[in-house]
Amino acid sequence: MNRIAAALFSTLVIHGLAHAQAYPARTVKIIVPYGAGGPADIYARFIGAKLSETMGQPFVIEDRPGGGAVVGTDAVAKSNADGYTLLMMSNTHTVNETLIPKKPYDLMKDLAPITGVNSSDLLMVINPAVPANNLKEFIALAKASPGKLNYASSGPGTPYHMAGELFKHMAGVDIVHVPYKGSDGARVGILGGQVQMMLDAITTMAPNVRAGKVKAMGTTGKTRSTVLPDVPTIAEAGVPGYETGIWLGLMAPAGTPRPVLERLNAEVNKVITAPEVKETWAKQGAAPMGMSVDQVGKFLLEDIQKWSKLVKDTGMKVD
């Protein structure tokens, strides 16, 4: 019986390795469950273009926003577990495990980790018409007018939403959340003055600060960002201990052969750790997150626990 089991195991391993060596044999789709123009879309297209070069088959990007990333993610979870449909995901997904418990999928059961892509700080900005020139003045304004100011996000559970809720919780202010269908719409809202405040990826919002289209209140990292070194962290500007950010990663449907996951892991990690990529991303405020498949799984579980506490402490709910 042991010999039969061993033979079966060897056959499965050999089959898996052969599958990985032949992979990819056709076009691979990366679904981005967010709107066009945001960090996930931008970096998915970058990764896809690089993988198309190194792996010899097209990696195409499909933006499928909706439901706080649930729509696109569910499409991947229900796809064939063959490595030809991948998911560009973020900390929205680890938040949603608690914030949206009745999803049609379970992140850690229905999807398989591949690797981390990158992480970056967020940047809090306000519309120039808001009568505040620094974070303490903005907090004072919010406390003087509870429920009168609002902030934009790209939807419930997204890093921008959670960063806003964490700020409200730690600063003790009442600011109304205005969810948009995507980060592009949220940026239009803050630039046009329909909303007063937004926390956005520094990689996409910094040019608007330099152009004077918004006023920077603070960045969300432990230390100041090299992208905007004159802008203080939110922690040093008025909310001690505040820290958050945005990260991106890749997953596949559960059941995808381990050799395929490992192959994708190795190829993506080669791309994101290349010296020229690290240098370019550093100028944008992003840092590579190269990890092994197992390290990504551990990281996701820890992030789920982290955001679960905030969701429960604040009583956040999605209607």
pTM over 0.85: no
> Is 319 domain-assigned?
no
Q: Same structural domain for residues 111 and 138?
A: no
268-283 tens-digit pLDDT = 999 999 999 999 999 9
pLDDT at 91: 93
Q: Same structural domain for residues 105 and 78?
A: yes
14-35 tens-digit pLDDT = 555 555 568 999 999 999 998 8
Residue where a domain terminates, one of 197, 214, 237: 237
CATH number at residue 194: 3.40.190.10
> Is 252 domain-assigned?
yes
> Is 66 domain-assigned?
yes
Residue where a domain terminates, one of 189, 209, 237: 237
145-200 tens-digit pLDDT = 999 999 999 888 889 999 999 999 999 999 999 998 888 899 999 999 999 999 99
Q: Considering its fold, how many domains does the chain have in total?
A: 2
CATH number at residue 60: 3.40.190.150
pLDDT at 7: 53
Q: Same structural domain for residues 197 and 231?
A: yes
Q: Same structural domain for residues 58 and 207?
A: no
Q: Which domain holds residue 149?
A: 122-237
pLDDT at 68: 83
Q: Same structural domain for residues 195 and 274?
A: no
User: Pairing mode, if any, of strands 246-253 and 85-90?
Assistant: antiparallel
> Which of these ranges, 6-20, 54-68, 111-125, 278-292, has the smallest mean pLDDT?
6-20
pLDDT at 182: 80
Q: Same structural domain for residues 131 and 230?
A: yes
Categorize the per-residue pLDDT at 2 as very low, low, confident or very high, splitting at 50, 70 and 90.
low
Residue where a domain terminates, one of 217, 237, 257: 237
From 114, 157, 169, 179, select the one nearest 246 (Cα to Cα): 157
Question: Bigger pLDDT: 9 or 297?
Answer: 297
pLDDT value at 9 more than 90? no
Q: Same structural domain for residues 110 and 187?
A: no
Q: Same structural domain for residues 266 and 226?
A: no
> Is 100 domain-assigned?
yes
Q: Same structural domain for residues 10 and 105?
A: yes
> Is 224 domain-assigned?
yes
